[in-house]
């Protein structure tokens, strides 16, 4: 049996970054390389219906081995293969820190890049463990190839140990989660699970069934460019209008000043000339009423600016992206209780907390597949300081196995 460490290291060798500027499905063809590999590995393990469709979804079934035709809920496990486009995911050179001693970790001596415990004190919780880091020049890809490796390790364990009783188990791997398009074409009916879990969370013990309500906003500001020597009472600098509009939004509701259940306006893009500028925001809040109020505030800001500078100077394109899955998961709260019990069986203390982000599971929950999120073990996603303890990945896979056992023994 391949170790979860070796499996993870093999998967991160594939560059699978998604691309928000692409209109293809998936957004990058290179994701197909790993998806095809996963399909072939599932087939080799004996999951005869393993498939990869044109939209980049791998689906497979491990059939029930329960005796006497006992029926239990069909459970799915889902992870995404793409990595964030925020930083390069090509030519990843992972470093293994064995028996971590609690000191700072030098990622790149030449560039002076150091993972410091003063800045990342959670490192100290992993003394004595094996930590996988980057070399400081790329991200690591634990988001979410740790989840992929953990699910594949689960399948390998169940196939190799037929004495472990289980109902039908569904396996799913998706593309493009990092750019918010991970389940745009996911066929919930074809997948065939009653409930599912994404393994896409962070530190060991995380269990999440609340996430942000989310919207994206693009504002186009139309200016008027005149030679600066003759600009008096004629020029309208679109960049300055954009800056003025941004200043109308509450400073304390920026990501760097918020935590827990606090939402935010996050300026993620600014391109401009005197003649025309474009600014982009993401808007987030766990509370739907506060989420709605944030969108109304942005609309009010646009209305104000157009009254000041002229109708049509500022155009707003505002679209909802996903919603808080709590509404869809809470009626099936037993799937959370089972996950808690599964963690306790593995010696892991459950930490139920809201996701300050979103997962494929959030959207799947509104598509008829209640799908909370389990920890995958990684930290500092999307950048050069990303790392994952091997022991956390092993525990995540053990928790998934315990979930399978608990459902098999249930009378649901």
Please give the positions annotated as active site.
82, 177
User: Would you say 211 and 359 are in contact if contact means Cβ atoms under 8 Å apart?
Assistant: yes
From the list 43, 2, 342, the residue with the least C-alpha distance to 156 is: 2
**What is the phi/psi pair of residue 290, to 5°?**
-70, -35
Question: For the stretch 109-144, what's the b/e string if a residue is b when 16 or more beta carbons lie within 10 angstroms of its beta carbon?
Answer: eeeebebeeeeeeebeebeeebbbbbbbbbbbbbbb
Q: Are 77 and 174 in contact (CB under 8 A)?
A: no
Cis peptide before 26 (omega within 30 of 0): yes
Q: Is the peptide bond before 144 cis (omega within 30 degrees of 0)?
A: yes
- From CA 45, how far away is CA 39, in angstroms rounded? 10
Question: Which residues have a Cβ under 8 Å from the Cβ of 357 and sit 6 or more positions away?
Answer: 211, 212
- Measured CA to CA, the distance from residue 378 to residue 139 in angstroms comes to 12
Left (φ > 0), alpha (ψ -120 to 50) or beta: where does 205 sit?
left
C-alpha–C-alpha distance, residues 128 and 346, integer Å: 19
Q: List the structure tokens of 303.
A: 């209305």
């Amino acid at each position: 049996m391949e170790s979860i460490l070796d499996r993870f290291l093999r998967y991160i060798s594939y560059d699978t970054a998604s691309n928000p500027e692409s209109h293809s499905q998936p957004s990058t063809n290179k994701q197909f390389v790993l998806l095809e590999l996963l399909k072939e590995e599932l087939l080799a393990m004996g999951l005869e219906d393993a498939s990869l469709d044109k939209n980049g979804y791998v689906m497979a079934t491990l059939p029930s081995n329960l005796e006497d035709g006992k029926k239990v809920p069909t459970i799915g496990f889902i992870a995404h293969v793409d990595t964030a486009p925020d930083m390069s995911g090509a030519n990843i050179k992972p470093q293994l820190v064995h028996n971590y001693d609690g000191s700072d970790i030098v990622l790149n001596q030449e560039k002076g890049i150091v993972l410091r415990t003063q800045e990342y004190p959670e490192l100290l919780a992993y003394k004595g463990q094996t930590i996988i880091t980057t070399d400081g020049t790329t991200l690591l890809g634990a988001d979410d190839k740790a989840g992929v490796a953990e699910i594949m390790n689960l399948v390998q364990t169940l196939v190799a140990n037929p004495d472990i009783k289980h109902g039908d188990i569904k396996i799913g791997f998706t593309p493009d989660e990092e750019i918010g398009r991970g389940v745009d074409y996911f066929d919930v009916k074809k997948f065939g699970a009653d409930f599912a879990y994404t393994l896409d969370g962070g530190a060991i013990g995380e269990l999440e069934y609340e996430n942000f309500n989310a919207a994206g906003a693009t504002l186009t500001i139309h200016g008027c460019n005149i030679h600066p020597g003759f600009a008096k009472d004629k020029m309208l600098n679109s960049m300055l209008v954009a800056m003025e509009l941004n200043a109308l939004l509450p400073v304390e509701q920026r990501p760097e000043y918020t935590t827990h259940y606090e939402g935010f306006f996050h300026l993620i893009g600014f391109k401009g000339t005197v003649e025309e500028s474009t600014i982009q925001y993401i808007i987030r809040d766990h509370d739907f009423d506060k989420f709605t109020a944030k969108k109304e505030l942005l609309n009010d800001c646009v209305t104000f600016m157009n009254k000041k500078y002229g109708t049509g100077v500022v155009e707003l394109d505002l679209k909802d992206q996903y919603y808080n899955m709590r509404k869809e998961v809470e009626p099936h709260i037993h799937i959370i209780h089972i996950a808690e019990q599964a963690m306790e069986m593995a010696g892991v203390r459950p930490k139920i907390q809201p996701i300050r982000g979103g997962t494929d599971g959030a959207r799947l929950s509104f598509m008829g597949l209640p799908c909370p999120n389990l920890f995958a073990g990684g930290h500092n996603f999307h950048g050069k300081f990303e790392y994952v303890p091997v022991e956390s990945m092993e525990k995540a896979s053990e928790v998934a196995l315990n979930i399978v056992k608990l459902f098999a023994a249930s009378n649901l």
